[in-house]
Amino acid sequence: MTIPALELKEVRKTFLKKKQKGRLSRAKREEVVALEKVNLAVQRREIFGVLGPNGSGKSTLIRLVSTLLLPDSGTIEVFGHDVEKEEFVVKRLINRVSVDAAFFKKFSPMENLTYAARLYGMPIREAREKMRQIMLRLGLKESTFTQPMENMSRGMQQKVAVARGFLTSPTLLLLDEPTTGLDPQSKRDVQAFVREIREDHDATVLLTTHDMEEANRLCDRIAIIDEGKIIALDTAGGLKNLVSKRNGQEPTLEDVFIELTGTRMEEKERDE
């Protein structure tokens, strides 16, 4: 029996949020459900996408898999290793790229990536050449490699975050909205890199995104999550078959999202 790259069983995660009852009353805490009994299996070498509006549970899912959060109940396994019981083994197998990636802003991209390489025990000489190749491939100019990160635009910083994620050639790569803030060409460069890391390093990729075209182009299977629950899971083609043609046109993933959630993604985002 083949062990999945990632498996979630009955995973539930809640947070406590302050709720103001009135100007003179004390703030009370209410339980907010981020994920509700999520079951999911991602196979080896699969590029698996997760679509959903802000607040749907996408980023919570990524943080749980990356061991940054612990589930209230249920189990999460990465290549058969429990993320709670075997945290350090799991951390060696994964890397995470987030839209809110943190850096030492006074340091340069090369210094930040060198720090990451040391954490993963990579030979520094080999790592530096790999850093250079990845950053050039992502469209960063060599003149920026030694400049402080604080002087770089948000889009350029995001490219460095992507480079850091690819640097260690993880077995499971967690991409949390990796192309947010990137121009169209940079998006395509990142997407090409995702395919390469799967083909060249047998990596598995879990991708959350708001870009439905990106999911359509890149993912082998896609889950749509809303209010902490997976409401649909299939290939892009299979999801589109859930929706009837409109005016003779083939449905898009956005049509599927509207049909299943009752609203457009951007409308839900404005409500957050």
- Residues sharing a CB contact under 8 Å with residue 199, sequence separation 6 or more, in sequence order: none
Radius of gyration of the chain (CA): 20
Angle, alpha carbons 145-149-153 (nearest 5°): 100
For 84-113, what is the mean pLDDT?
A: 88
Residues 98 and 158: their CA atoms lie apart, in Å, by: 8
For 110-123, what is the mean pLDDT?
A: 89
At 270, is the pLDDT very low, low, confident or very high (cuts 50, 70, 90)? very low
Give the pair of three-digit tokens for residue 243: 């929706």
* The model's pTM: 0.84
DSSP string, 165-209: HHHT--SEEEEESTTTT--HHHHHHHHHHHHHHHHHH--EEEEEE
Q: What domains lie within the chain, and their CATH numbers?
A: 6-271 (3.40.50.300)
The reported pLDDT for the residue numbered 24 is 52
Q: What is the pLDDT of residues 134-143, one digit of tens each?
A: 899 888 889 9
Give the pair of three-digit tokens for residue 3: 């062990």
- Min mean pLDDT across 57-71, 181-195, 221-235 is at 181-195
Phi-psi region of 26 (alpha: psi -120 to 50; beta: other; left: phi over 0): beta
Residues 218 and 41: their CA atoms lie apart, in Å, by: 18
